[in-house]
Structure 1
């Protein structure tokens, strides 16, 4: 566990976040071997192909937080010297104020006393913070960048990626779900539809299934007795 008060927000967005991270990874991998560069003044993160520097993926980057092993703390971007007090990260602070979540309203959040605070722990914490940022801002994907000395910076990106469609999700989800542990699959499916802008309808009063639809097609998620996803049935637009 990294930040216990933040984990439920990241869990809620877990399915949508995983699909958007997958889309970012695919777009970056299409460049082949590549590097990333952050330009804080311009507010961009650019992924550039090593073999052909003219091939780039340019994203608008919004700093959310930095997570540092030295002070054993996370500093929200709205309180960061290089951050913007009125920037995207301020949406997290506003949500925290409305819902009484101190870890979102305190400028700096200490690591739990038992935290390893090593590279692996900080990377995991960055994924949680990224998920929270996606959940509360609606922007995606996020990017966790090592910035030296063991510190990581977390950004949400406005990237030139196509919107997430039901048909894209149906194709990608079997692969993604195999490596994803959902604490509450029903809520994650509901939130996936909310964040993606799809229409969701529960199949019955027992919430044993959920149907989602957009212009690309429809899909039905089935849940087993333990409320896990037991199957996904998809139908593409124009097909039976």
Structure 2
């Protein structure tokens, strides 16, 4: 969860900027995943992946590869690869066909909170970082990973990166700030490096040089840097 947290948040912010006001529809048989806008224009994802669904009735998450409805193999293959990694590393939540809400971090009770942890795990394990979830009837919520050129992140912006880190450490349920920020820097190509016995972490790229300081408990204390 810590490994996925910050890069996932950045992708979701970018997705919100790209989509704005919109409607969505998915046809599992076509298969088509389409966003439509008030202007009448649309954006179609040629590649998307159905991860699973959280249903309030049974109070459980069901992985797409286990759904008895049956879906085209290309839509569930990515979820299947997550299952395979779970089997390799002994992670029951990734290998069980159904996962009770109570088995997830914090024991969430509502489907929209349940999709988060499992979707985040799928992101960091597959390298697909843009997700979308929505209600599909009866309170059940389905989760997808969606791909489109418009969803790719632009080059890191110094000011936005500082704001992102501040929002992440103040708003996300991180358990290890050092790990979360280091992994984000690594995945984002920011050349992360610890200095002063781990008390500080430097992030650097063209036009960006940041230093993240941690307190005695390992929590982010300060983010400062130079731009340009």
Gaps of 5+ in 1: 1-9
Residue 81 of structure 2 aligns with which residue?
Answer: 91
Distance 2:183 2:81 in 1: 18
Quick check: 1:165–1:214 contact (8 Å CA) kept in 2?
A: no
Does residue 231 in structure 1 map to residue 218 in structure 2? no
TM-score by length of 2: 0.84
Q: CA deviation at 1:187?
A: 0.9
* Residues 58 and 177 of structure 1, relative CA distance in 2, 3 Å threshold: farther
Distance 2:80 2:16 in 1: 27
RMSD over aligned Cα atoms: 2.5
Distance 2:166 2:31 in 1: 35
Secondary structure class of the residue paired with 2:136 = strand
- The structure whose residues are more often helix, as a share, is 2
Match of 2:131 among 139, 142, 147: 142
The number of aligned residues is 219
Greater Cα offset, 167-176 or 62-71? 167-176
* Residues 149 and 26 of structure 1, relative CA distance in 2, 3 Å threshold: same
Residue 58 of structure 1 aligns with which residue?
Answer: 44
Match of 1:124 among 104, 113, 126: 113
Residue 29 of structure 2 aligns with which residue?
Answer: 41
Does residue 21 in structure 1 map to residue 9 in structure 2? no
TM-score by length of 1: 0.80
Q: CA deviation at 1:177?
A: 4.1
Q: CA deviation at 1:171?
A: 4.3
